[in-house]
Amino acid sequence: MGKPTGFVEYKSIVSSCRDPLARVKDWQEIQETFDEQLLKQQASRCMECGTPFCHTGSLINGKVSGCPLHNLMPEWNDLVYRGLWQEAFQRLNLTNNFPEFTGHVCPAPCEGACTAGLVSDPVTIKNIELQIIEQAFAQGFISPRPPQVRTGKKVAVIGSGPSGLACAAQLNQAGHSVTVFERSDRVGGILMYGIPNMKLDKKIVQRRIDLLQQEGVNFLTSMEVGSNCDALSILREFDATVLCIGSTKPRDLNVEGREYEGIHFAMDFLSHNTKSLLDSDHADKSYITAEGKDVIIIGGGDTGTDCVATSLRHNCRSVTQFEIMPCPPTTRSVDNPWPQYPNVYKQDYGQQECSAIFGCDPRQYQIATKKFVGDKYGQVKEIHTVQLEWVKTDNRWNCQEIAGTEKVWPAQLVILAMGFLGPEENLLQQLNIQQDPRSNISTSANSYATNIPGIFAAGDARRGQSLVVWAISEGRRAAKECDTYLMGRSDLP
């Protein structure tokens, strides 16, 4: 431990973001960097615990605790404190292919499991991680590292989201010739089109993709395997295939009036906006605009927050976010103990921006949509809702409508951000891939192999909708299993 009294001497300071009223006027990165000396102080708060829960990556009663990638936080915190940036990067790079992604978008379950969090605020691990990788790029610690020897084996990775990129990076380092198939016109999956630019600048994504290309990974865009690219020909051409196709079937809301215009899925809203931004700085108008509209976002979570922030940048008239669950408590509840990820009330960047503009958090809790109402032109104009009460019966929570709480909300744009129901099935049916009861790709326990020899699966398509950090972890593990299948053993971490 570099400074045994660090967590006593220094308070936790989270890296600052640009002023909300200023940043909503553009699509640039909201996060600001730390002063190096201040960052060293924050790193010194790490106690290098004898049993560090921050990198366990386990599930406790179904809730995540610690980092799924098992990042070596205590080690690189100490190295940052001592100013050893290259050594800190080497430790970080051992377990995480893309710290620049997790450093921007991960909710940091590692911090929820930090021992310092038992008595004060946790170590600001996420900020330190991001600074390490940015220092590595700035100081030239990162350069293309193509494998010295090729195995002669060819692997197809279908999907270029975080799990696909991680899988491709690992298999390429093992010496296999890797081709990544992406159905969009740009590589990156959800990293490119699902997460807004102000939260994850696309230059950061492209920087990593360029590096992977220089290391020998081949990317094919506008290639939807199973549609405009024959799935069976992939199996004939490649020695193994890894399915990293994500969980992309959106959950719908089948209530009266769903057919009206102006009701869109969140991913359509977000992806069209980012594509138009990248293609023409929005000059082509090829996106769903919230300008001048009362926007209702149904569903919370990160995607709902991204929709709030995007609507504000479109200069919407108002924005409201419906959540079916109760408002979280301000401190951990009895059934959410450390080291589980804390389910507590907080404002993410979108809610902070809304509060700055309109003076209130946009979220409305314990509310259900009963029906949509449209105008004579077939355009949605309002939403009818009712408040809910959650009641525990027979050890299960159920919601009941509260009589007399009906309300009508004006809405010319409705965005459905209620999560996803598994991978799209066209490709899976063509390949005869078995699915589990939740429609995810079925694999045996602790395995990434499907029922078809030589075909593996990773990421949201296998585990269900989850975090970017879990997707990277899954991609790495699937790569190791695929490498073992091809070579009889694997030296991949």
Question: Helix, strand or coil for residue 206?
Answer: helix
d(CA 38, CA 306): 29
> Residue 69 belongs to a domain with what CATH number?
1.10.1060.10
Q: Are residues 475 and 407 in the same domain?
A: no
User: What residues in the chain have per-residue pLDDT under 70?
Assistant: 1-2
What pLDDT is stored for residue 226 in this prediction?
93
Mind spelling out the 3-state secondary structure of 11-68? Answer: CCCCCCECCHHHHCCCCCCCECCCCHHHHHHHHCCCCCCCCCHHHCCEEECCEEECCC
What pLDDT is stored for residue 90 in this prediction?
97
> Residue 456 belongs to a domain with what CATH number?
3.50.50.60
**Beta carbons of 379 and 294 less than 8 angstroms apart:** no
Q: Rounded to 5 degrees, what are φ and ψ at 414?
A: -120, 130
Q: Taking phi first (over 0 means left), then psi (-120 to 50 degrees means alpha), and beta for anything else, what does residue 348 get? A: beta
Q: Are residues 201 and 339 in the same domain?
A: no
Q: Are residues 315 and 355 in the same domain?
A: yes
Tens-digit pLDDT profile for residues 392-433: 888 888 999 999 999 999 999 999 999 999 999 999 999 999
**400: buried, middle or exposed (CB in 10 Å: 19+, 13-18, 0-12)?**
exposed
In a domain, 493, yes or no: no
The alpha-carbon radius of gyration of the chain (Å, integer) is 23
**Beta carbons of 380 and 416 less than 8 angstroms apart:** no
Provide the total of helices (H) and of strands (E) in the chain, helices listed first.
17, 16
d(CA 338, CA 106): 19
d(CA 187, CA 168): 13
Q: Are residues 225 and 177 in the same domain?
A: yes
Q: Which residues pair with 177 in a beta bridge?
A: 154
In a domain, 102, yes or no: yes
Q: Which residues pair with 69 in a beta bridge?
A: none
Counting the structural domains of the chain, the total is 3
In a domain, 193, yes or no: yes
What pLDDT is stored for residue 1 in this prediction?
64
Mean pLDDT taken over the chain: 95
Q: In what order do the strands lie in the sheet with 413-416?
A: 263-265, 413-416, 294-298, 318-322, 363-364
In a domain, 181, yes or no: yes
Buried-state track 264-302, b at ≥16 Cβ within 10 A, e below 16: bbbbebbbbbbbbbbeeebeeeebbbbeebbbbbbbbeb
Q: Are residues 371 and 279 in the same domain?
A: yes
275 Cβ partners below 8 Å, 6+ apart? 185, 186, 193, 286, 287
Residue that is last in its domain, among 416, 438, 471: 416
Expressed in percent and rounded to 5, the helix, strand and coil fractions of the chain are 35, 20, 45
**Beta carbons of 299 and 323 less than 8 angstroms apart:** yes
What pLDDT is stored for residue 48 in this prediction?
84
**Beta carbons of 182 and 198 less than 8 angstroms apart:** no
Q: Are residues 425 and 411 in the same domain?
A: no
In a domain, 144, yes or no: no
DSSP 263-274: EEEHHHHHHHHH
For the record, the structure tokens of 389 come out as: 């009460």
In a domain, 89, yes or no: yes
**Beta carbons of 314 and 291 less than 8 angstroms apart:** yes
Between the alpha carbon of residue 235 and those of residues 161, 318, 455, the distances in Å are 21, 50, 9
Domain interval for residue 270? 263-416
Q: Are residues 384 and 268 in the same domain?
A: yes
In a domain, 222, yes or no: yes
d(CA 361, CA 357): 10
Q: Are residues 350 and 430 in the same domain?
A: no
pTM: 0.96
Q: Are residues 362 and 454 in the same domain?
A: no
Residue that is last in its domain, among 104, 138, 172: 138
What pLDDT is stored for residue 58 in this prediction?
86
In a domain, 336, yes or no: yes
Enumerate the H helices of 289-380 as residue ranges: 301-313, 349-358
Q: Which residues pair with 415 in a beta bridge?
A: 264, 297
Residue at 15: amino acid letter: S
Q: Are residues 359 and 275 in the same domain?
A: yes
Residue that is last in its domain, among 390, 416, 442: 416
Residue at 252: amino acid letter: D
Q: Are residues 381 and 454 in the same domain?
A: no
Q: Are residues 109 and 230 in the same domain?
A: no
